[in-house]
Structure 1
Amino acid sequence: MELLWIIALIIFVVYMIISDKKVKNSKDYKEALSQNKKPPKKLLVKRWWSWGLILILICGFFVSASNDAESHNEAYKATSHRSKKRSSVKKKKKVSVSTKTSKPKPIKNTAKAVTLGAGKYKVGRDIKPGRYVIKAVQGSGNLSNSDATINVILGNDVDSDQVTSFTTNLVKNDKINLDGIESTSFTPTPDKYTYKTQVSAGIWLVGRDIKPGRYVIRPIKGSGNLISDGSDDNLNEILGPDADNGQVSKVTADLTAGEVILSNLELIGLTKK
């Protein structure tokens, strides 16, 4: 929206310059100046309303930019269960947290099962908002969304950095991309939450999916990023068997209620310490 304000401002300034140039080149204006008389037509640059309009356009730009930034922040807060982009290099990543609880509570899942082919889809139009287990039914390829908070390779070849499923929340107006996958299923997760000691690729909430406590976390299948957000000591590791590429075979961590865990591994195990 702010682009429209900038365009309007540029158009008016250009119009003002061209208009004043025409007035200055007019015969009446030149004669008035040569005779030390007041020109018959006042230049736009000397009119108060011209500068008032410029000020309004500038203010409109800043207000629009502020509103867009606020809308972006609200949309980002709604993605508390969405994954971050897969990376082969360990980086500090952030997953927003919007819910804190100390024990599982039944929550009505609004998701509805659907199977889709390759393409681009909008949550709220093509996919109902809710929490899903997403799987490649036929073929393999990339599952991602419009702001790259979801980016994994779905398939059945775990040795090729593919994951057989990805569990996440899909929020309204998000855009989902299915690239190279012939058929992908979106299956609603159960309303009832249970504590797990093994979790597949996806986003999981401590206090709901995982019991708070101190754990040793190990890769069971596959390798990839394990990160978290919502505690004083967030996780940021690449789990796997290849130490020469910066992977670690295990990590010990205190998981606290409300902490969000993101795993891009096929399966990890959590052992109470």
Structure 2
Amino acid sequence: MKFLWIIALIIFVIYIIISDKKLKNRKDYKEALTPSKNPSKELLVKRWWVWGLVLVLICGFFVPDLNNAENHDETYKTSSHHSKKPSSVKKRKRLSDYASKKVTKFMPVKNTAKAVTLGAGKYKVGRDIKPGRYVIKAVKGNGNLSNSDFTINVILGKNVKSDQVTSFTTNLIKNDKIKLDWIESTSFTPTPDKYTYKTKLSAGIWLVGLDIKPGRYVIRPIKGRGNLISEDGSDDNLNEILGKDAKRDQVSKVTADLTAGEVILSTLELIGLSKK
């Protein structure tokens, strides 16, 4: 688009130069250049509408940049010029749908994942990454980790204060599309075959009954801030922003009954679950 604006501006400027040169060479124009007379036709460079059109062409060149800058501010973290902001909760597909794809039975199974390290780019599970459960980390650099339906959308890095997470744990199934933006090197490490109940969870997608013992809990942020979402097929789901800044609609804790089969998504570096 910028290229077209540049071409249009160049063509118009050339037209002005050629047109004015022809006008200056005309006999009637030269004869009119006397103290008592004015030329019957003005040069294009002296006409207000010509400069107005030049200004429009120049603005047309820069307006896309301004729009891109606005989109950039909405899409990228202000603390890191090359890290995408995680998408809003409304844009995510249902986590219960995700669970039905990723975990068909609420029982431990052999992890088919295979360790791999990848650079920035787009990858397909089953072709570039073996299906399975992984801990995903940025080995070098920082940037955005996402998948095609934005169930996964976090910033991997080492600066927790900038809403980055040092790892993300999740299941990847065949045909999932994974995108790594601006991360020089990212490791995909298989999780152990054996599931254990945890009371501290890093960023990731977790299943109650495998990773978390069913029960009533108070959930608090330990490190970082971000979304805490759950789905169990009912309307009684978690959808909170955990953190320590109440002015930014963050809550310091949330109490919930977690039932077997419920899927928990956390984009915080670390959360703690206390039995109630």
TM, length-normalised to structure 1: 0.65
Aligned with residue 234 of structure 1, among 228, 237, 241: 237
Could you report, residue by residue, the CA deviation over 1:197-235 in whole angstroms, capped at 9, with x for unpaired residues? 000000000010000000000000000000000054110
Shift of 1:90: 6.2
- Structure 1 stretches of 4+ with a deviation exceeding 4 A read 89-93, 99-102
Name the residue aligned to 1:158. 160
Do 1:116 and 1:185's aligned partners in 2 also have CA atoms closer than 8 Å?
yes
SS of equivalent residue, structure 1 residue 244? helix
Alpha-carbon separation, structure 1, partners of 2:249 and 2:90:
12
Residues 156 and 254 of structure 1: CA distance in aligned 2, closer, same or farther (over 3 Å): same
Q: Matched residue of 2:161: which SS?
A: helix
In the alignment, the residues of structure 2 paired with residue 180 and residue 261 of structure 1 have an alpha-carbon distance, to the nearest angstrom, of: 27
The equivalent residue for 2:145 is 143
2:272 maps to which of 260, 269, 273: 269
Q: Structure 1 stretches of 5 or more lacking a match?
A: 1-84
Post-superposition Cα deviations, 1:169-214, rounded to whole Å, max 9, x if no partner, equal 1111111111100100000000000000000000000010000000
Give, in whole Å, the separation in 1 of the partners of 2:246 and 2:123: 38
Query: SS where residue 247 of structure 2 aligns?
Result: helix
- Between the aligned partners of 2:230 and 2:213, the Cα distance in structure 1 is 15
- Residue equivalent to 2:252: 249
Percentage of matched positions with identical amino acids: 81
**Residue number in structure 2 paired with 1:25:** none
The answer for the alignment partner of 2:136 in structure 1 is 134
Preserved CA contact (<8 Å) 1:155 1:164: yes
Return the alpha-carbon distance in structure 2 between the equivalents of residues 153 and 90 of structure 1.
Answer: 15
Deviations 1:16-72 (A, max 9, x none): xxxxxxxxxxxxxxxxxxxxxxxxxxxxxxxxxxxxxxxxxxxxxxxxxxxxxxxxx
**Offset at 1:86?**
3.0
1:101 CA drift (Å): 6.9
Residues 90 and 237, structure 1, Cα contact 8 Å, conserved in 2: no
| Alignment partner, residue 175 of structure 1 | 177
Q: 2:113 aligns with which of 111, 114, 120?
A: 111
Q: Secondary structure at the match of 1:159?
A: helix
- Gaps of at least 5 residues in structure 2 are 1-84
Larger relative contact order (C-alpha < 8 A, sep ≥ 6)?
1
Matches of 2:272 and 2:91, distance apart in 1: 22
The match for 1:86 is 86
Asked if the contact 2:108/2:210 (under 8 Å) is kept, the reply is no
Contact 1:224 1:240 in 2 (8 A): yes
Report the count of equivalent residues: 186
